Amino acid sequence: MYNLFKLNNGLRVVLENIDYVNSVSVGLWVENGSRNEDSINNGISHFIEHMFFKGTENRTALQIAECIEDVGGQINAFTGKEATCFYIKALDSHLELALDVIADMLFNSKFLAEDIEREKGVIIEEIKMSEDSPEDVLADLHSSAIWGEDSLSLPILGTVETIKSFNREQIVEYISSHYIPENSVISISGNFDCAIVEKLVEKYFGNWNSKNKKVTNYSNPSILTNHLYKKKSIEQLHLSLGIPGIESGKDNLYALLLLSNVLGGGASSILFQKIREEKGLCYSVYSYISSFRNTGIVSIYTSLNPQYAADALSMIKDELDKFIKTSISDEKIHKAKEQLKGSYILGLESTSSRMFNNGKSVLFLNRINNPKDIIEKINNIDKYKLNEVMKNTFEKGILNAAFVGEEVNLELLSNIINKDFVSFKNSRSELI
């Protein structure tokens, strides 16, 4: 059973009562992430996420963790490009404790100068650890290739330089302007009494307000035609290819997800069977979609010996061309739908996954994504819809790419990508 309502201060609340479980998951979603930042304060959203765990007027950092873990619960948070989420999962008997702790972190965090300085060191180490991961480096590099100077391309962690610049005044001001009830959602899933929970949410969050409000307003970034390469002393070449996708909230996303799964979604996909199983050129190859406000991208990823890069890229181009020109059989569409439905439903088997699903849906779309409605949308995908989506996405071809590795012939790989696509007459290839 779902219940969606709004407090007088504009805070949206979504409840999903699941009476056959003994747990409850509580999440505070804030529509704020690295996309809300600029080159000066890049990384501040993720930094604030860390600082909320460093102690409040009522609890030390240790007590924040202990009060949840001592009752067998879990507490954590994450920051993305467009949202930050703080969440707790515990036995249903500890629902009020979960709300109390999240509210305490949000409203009563101290942000002591010594804690800020200490956390700078922690996050700088996190940035360095990310720089040791070629997949992470590739993701940030490809974002720059796709969106250029738009804030959507900014790294979630920020940079060492921006992290070093943060101070208490800057953090408090940013929270007061971006962490506002109008930009936020409380999502709760599990076993509880809805009437009691409504009163508890009002008790802990009803007085939340801010005088310095900055309601999120996202840009409409163009998808650029860049090929970027970053040299890194590693054995393999990691590459990511970008194809125009679909922005978040559109029903056509389900048809795009089906197409992406057929092309590169698993071990039975076209790319996996051709590039890995038949040719043995790589260990991993797959495609996936990323959707944001006003934009989206389909990415194809693989990592392999640099000497096979040109062959693999040519094969990917060939398979993409066949994929675009060859109609998918009714049997294949049916199987792809079943895979899509199975993956979606299995992903909702816990109270935390349902809390995430509901919270994200209400935060960005202001509605609940009921699983029955999603299944119906998947069932309604037909060849007409697939052809429409194919035309607006895959048929536009590979528009951008990023490469991370020791040795790359960027000119050769760029030429392979650009071949047969006139849109690349203004493309840019660059060594980062």
Task: Tell me the pLDDT tens digit for each residue of 115-151.
Answer: 999 999 999 999 999 999 999 999 999 999 999 999 9
Mean pLDDT of the chain: 94
Q: Which tens digit of pLDDT belongs to each residue from 314-342?
A: 999 999 999 999 989 999 999 999 999 99
Strand 428-431 versus strand 226-231 pairing type: parallel
Catalytic residue among 31, 37, 49, 82: 49
The pLDDT of residue 175 = 96
Please give the share of the chain, as a percent, with pLDDT higher than 90. Answer: 90
Q: Mean of the pLDDT values across residues 10-26?
A: 96
Task: Indicate whether 427 pLDDT > 60.
Answer: no
Alpha-carbon distance 186 to 163, whole Å? 29
Q: What is the pLDDT of residues 71-115, one digit of tens each?
A: 999 999 999 999 999 999 999 999 999 999 999 999 999 999 999
Structure letter (DSSP) for residue 109: B
Q: Which residues pair with 400 in a beta bridge?
A: 242
Kind plus residue range of the DSSP H or E element containing 260: helix 252-264
Please report, rounded to a whole number, the percentage of residues in the chain having pLDDT higher than 70. Answer: 97
Given this model, what pLDDT does residue 424 score? Answer: 41
Return the half-sphere exposure (C-beta side, CA atoms, 13 A cut-off) of residue 286: 10
Query: Rounded to an integer, what distance in angstroms lies between the CA atom of residue 335 and that of residue 313?
Result: 28
- Mean pLDDT for 1-6 is 94
* 421 confidence band (pLDDT: 50, 70, 90): low
Q: Which range is least confidently modeled, 188-192, 362-366, 414-418, 420-424?
A: 420-424
pLDDT band at 347 (very low <50, low <70, confident <90, very high): confident
Complete DSSP assignment for 136-180: HHHHHHHHHHHHTTSGGGS-TT--HHHHHH--HHHHHHHHHHHS-
1 — pLDDT class (breaks 50, 70, 90): confident
| Whether residue 290 has pLDDT greater than 60 | yes
Give the model confidence (pLDDT) of 382-408 as tens digits: 999 999 999 999 999 999 999 999 988
d(CA 265, CA 272): 8
Is the pLDDT at 431 greater than 70, yes or no?
no
Average pLDDT over residues 59-78: 98
Whether pLDDT at 425 is above 50 = no
Domains by residue range for the chain, with CATH:
2-205 (3.30.830.10), 226-431 (3.30.830.10)
Is 49 designated active site?
Answer: yes
Residue 426 has pLDDT above 80, yes or no: no
Q: What pLDDT is stored for residue 423 in this prediction? A: 44
Does pLDDT of 69 surpass 80?
Answer: yes
Tally Cβ neighbours within 10 Å of residue 261: 22
